[in-house]
Amino acid sequence: MGKTEISILRPAEIESESFRIIEEELRQKGRKIPEDHKHVLLRVIHTTADFEYLDTMAFSEDVLAAAEDALRRGAHIVTDTTMAMAGINKRRLAQFGGEVHCFIADPDVAEAAGEAGTTRSAAAVHKAVRFSRENGIPLIFAVGNAPTALLALEEEIGEGYRPELVIAVPVGFVNVVEAKERIMEAGAPYICSRGRKGGSNVAAAIVNAILYHMK
């Protein structure tokens, strides 16, 4: 029995071929990706090999154009995990004057969480909002792990803070579905994966899709 045949492709060709395969498989199923969300959905499906995101990913009105505008104005990105932070293309983001932050491991965040009896993810969100207000820097939040981060954002939004975008894609079983639904009702622009699925890789993929789409 011979070895399984492997295609020899360059990295850029692998991505292009993957996108082609995704669209072809959807075409065979009688499905088509909406053009206005295509660059995000293709990259998320490519990252996860999960076609269910075509049905579960929700976008607030005109959110992608607003996100690109915010990034051109120098918006920074705050993640809830170092994994998501590592996956974001920082060189591309820096071209627009932005930076990526993850406050989860900061000593003052751990101290604040202990004093408040909450999670470090929630305390990190409150620190990020203070950072935004004190420095006049608009923020995009990319949440791929902690529903408590979304609940802390909901609280901050209720008190008058407005993030440029909330990427709400935490994965899990406890309060994940509920936190996503609540952040979509909070009034801020969002991209959200309804249901239990998501993850830090999905959060980073969405950020990169937006960055790569910008001229």
Cβ contacts of 8 within 8 Å, gap of 6 or more: none
Cα 85-115-123 angle, rounded to 5 deg: 20
Rg (CA), the chain: 18
- Cβ count within 10 A of residue 83: 16
**The pairing of beta strand 190-193 with beta strand 57-59:** antiparallel
Residue from 37, 46, 76, 213 carrying the catalytic annotation: 46
Q: Is 76 a catalytic residue?
A: no
The C-alpha atoms of residue 193 and residue 36 are separated, in whole angstroms, by: 17
Annotated active-site positions, please? 46
